[in-house]
Chains A and B, each alone.
Chain A
């Protein structure tokens, strides 16, 4: 596990300060729209055991209390990007209902952090 997370609000902080919720690749279905029980079952229960690059929701509990999306490599432990969860969610909602496959996450990460692998964002 990576030791330092470059929080876009607080700068590099140790993993001790974070709570990890897990997989951030799923998007909450719209209940009234396309939310069949199957898509909900997938959203709530089905998780890949990823080897390699993975996006996860992390909460900076011992810091700014912001939810972040940490993209990391489960093998090499490299951290690719740390993005505010709100930025992540907004960018995916933009590409929403019809094409909900691969989100434009790199752009989101850069926009949020200023640099490719993080940095101090103005908030």
Chain B
């Protein structure tokens, strides 16, 4: 309980008191607090347990890179694990829980791992859990997963809304510190439209966290004034709580806006998070720099944090981790921390500077020990006690309650690297510099290793102008306000204090220690990408924002290479984790998979239809009566249709209207069979091949007038066929004068089938339906019910005397009802997809069950539909050797010897006496139905040499259900092979 809040100071609103809970304990904080600062204010230094060793951990940073203070926030469906306490604003009623501990954060059983830590070296899992093989899934993995959990997922639905949004601007400025503010100001003054995005709740960046002055004002006041000026400009949009997470091609940036993650009860009319795509002509990357920890013994103890984090907590939030502090630094940042902490009344014992040639810097009286290092930290879960240092003359102990560390700065280069470029090591600045491959992404300020405040202000102004110019604006020089600077900003790297007596951590979140990297190198994993995966350094949710550069330095030491040779791992979006909710956006539930309803949906629903999903469509499947099941309903519907008359919704068929001088020629090139001489007033069945010669789709096309056709496709392939037709015209034969439009949704289409179909239709259609006037395959534009324009086709997918009637979609329900009414005296009944299927199988008509992309026209008995007289899609390839091989599987019918034996599509066929195997396989069953007319289960199948084998017996094998069944091969047309009914 060493951490506390100062009595005065900070940018928090002490007048607002906010209640929240942590691990069930109710605590209070103030407006402007993050969860991390509020916990520190409450003396709650311990915030989590580490991943592997379950070591007690507190915050290391005050920002997005935080590896330790990860919490579960919220309850029920709103629970979100792995939230960084440093980024989470507190709100009334916030519920936070620590992670990775059992049973409690204070008494964590998993800490026993720390005692056995010599076992948990790099590659531990690979080395240990290799064998026996079957133990992996059954034993090792479940245990490891339970032990290594980083928070829990809620299994409840997320009640909140998420959205995706687009924004466009001339200049995107990422980061609103001194550099970003000046960049936004200078770009905006040129007239360019500017978006200024910052990941924190309040804009201002380091100006909120440092005690520096600009133009005679405290930095945060200057920031507030500048923000007010920007906000007043109509061409500027300021987006706080918005993390730019990725840079993509052509100036597209991804950004995550946390709209309502800081409120107790989100407004349901507003999303909680918004995923933005921002399209910008130029981007000023004012993302700042990350302070590097130093790798020394006990550098993970609660109370140890980066020097800039300690300043941020003190200056912005008025909290400190302890009443006394030491500073361990290899850069000037540590000196600033010593002065700031002293000013806040924290007793600063000493500055331990690893540099023996440390520059003379004003320390306000704090003693400086140069050429010294910290070798261990003595402390427990709740308080740090002392540090152990080494000045080259043995170990000494300095008591203190907190320790600031600064190993130098790493520019936040991610956005400049997301398109594949890598940063390069700069020997003078001791950091990786952002690549400049993309001229539209302009690094500025400390993101480009510009360290002092006055230079950052000037650099921001210049880069803002540069960006505006790139976006096509004329700029004028923006006056840069004066600021007082630190004297120098050198920082020599200290990668690893080798004389450490405690455990030195490189990657906090994955518990990678300094020893692991040389070990990986010794074992052959010395490439940075391999070392990363072998040690897991940089693989946690923080992606090594703090640890990676130290890891590279240690690996360089271990291998004798320089930093540039080692290089970095690949930077990939996203910069920080993004919730699945935000990625899904509004595409959830019905918006994820919309429902397509036929214009006759309500007609079918009123008649009690059961629906089935086919793609996005809901199709009426059967019409139960008196509680009968699908089989009984289907049987009744088939028998009624074949004996009297039935009405079926076929609106889901793809429908394409084709017109133009060259429409005939065009259609003739699409279908494999002849269409050039199709007379006006006639429909024809057509087969479409793919260019590789296999069957693609089928359907009917009717010639309504000289240059006007109406084409139908299958339901399942409607979209693909439309696209193929567009391709055939635009990319292959643009010289043809033809127009086409998908009219699938414009027409309601119904099949009226059965011996009484003509009698029923005659009552509502204004045309002569006699066989002479409107024979088989006739097609005509007609009127129904006196005035409704319609198309009538005499086509039959049931084998009955049948018509298909298309009416404008809005009239569908009314016309269907009228037909039902007119058909009542004739015993009309509705029939669904099940009955339609059974009847087409009885008739041996193929669907995509048969034409599944692997069959040729010959395979399904339509070899004669391949014209030899014309060019068409797929013609040449369909004539390849092998596609007419007699050994190919051919369409047949199959009937089980016992008609009551149900079998399934997908069953394989083998010769009697053969054991099913790839070698003995003779084919497979493609469609199965119960045939009410044959009173038997029947199927269509693809069988080797099938057409020669009618009458033979084969074995049906259903491996999934372990069913063997003898069946007889027969002609695929089970019912009315002479086609008498359809022509009647």
Contacts and interface: CB of A to CB of B under 8 A. Distances in A.
Contacts of A44: 691-692, 877
Interface string B275-290: 0010100000000000
Interface string A58-89: 01010001110000000001010000111111
A2 B252 CA distance: 9
Nearest to B279: A4
Interface in A27-48: 28-32, 35, 37, 40-41, 43-45
A1 interface: yes
B726 A28 contact: no
Interface of B: 248-250, 252, 277, 279, 419, 691-692, 723, 726-727, 729-735, 871, 875-877, 879-880
A86 B730 CA distance: 5
Contact of A4 (B250, B419, B729): B250
A21 interface: yes
A3 to B, nearest CB: 4
Nearest to A60: B726
A4 B691 CA distance: 30
B875 A86 contact: no
A90 B735 CA distance: 8
Q: Which of B692, B726, B729, B735 has the most CB of A within 10 A?
A: B726
A12 B182 CA distance: 31
Contacts of B250: 2-4, 77, 79
Contact of B731 (A40, A61, A79, A86): A86
B245 to A, nearest CB: 15
30 contacts: A2-B250, A4-B249, A4-B250, A19-B723, A21-B727, A28-B732, A29-B876, A31-B875, A31-B876, A37-B879, A40-B877, A41-B877, A44-B692, A44-B877, A45-B692, A57-B731, A59-B726, A59-B727, A61-B723, A65-B726, A66-B730, A67-B726, A67-B727, A67-B730, A77-B249, A77-B419, A85-B727, A85-B731, A87-B734, A90-B735
Contacts of B248: 3
Interface string A77-109: 101000011111110010000000000000000
Interface residues of A, number: 36
Contact of A85 (B277, B730, B877): B730
A4 B252 contact: yes
A89 B734 contact: yes
B655 to A, nearest CB: 16
Given A19-B723, A41-B877, 15 more contacts: A3-B248, A4-B252, A4-B279, A14-B277, A28-B732, A29-B876, A37-B876, A37-B877, A59-B727, A66-B730, A67-B726, A67-B727, A85-B730, A89-B734, A90-B735
Contacts of A61: 723
B727 A57 contact: yes
Contact of B871 (A31, A57, A79, A89): A31
A67 B731 contact: yes
B115 to A, nearest CB: 50
Contacts of A19: 723
A117 to B, nearest CB: 11
B730 A3 contact: no
Given A2-B250, A3-B252, A19-B723, A89 B730 contact: yes
A46 to B, nearest CB: 12
Nearest to B881: A37
Contacts of A41: 877
A4 B730 CA distance: 22
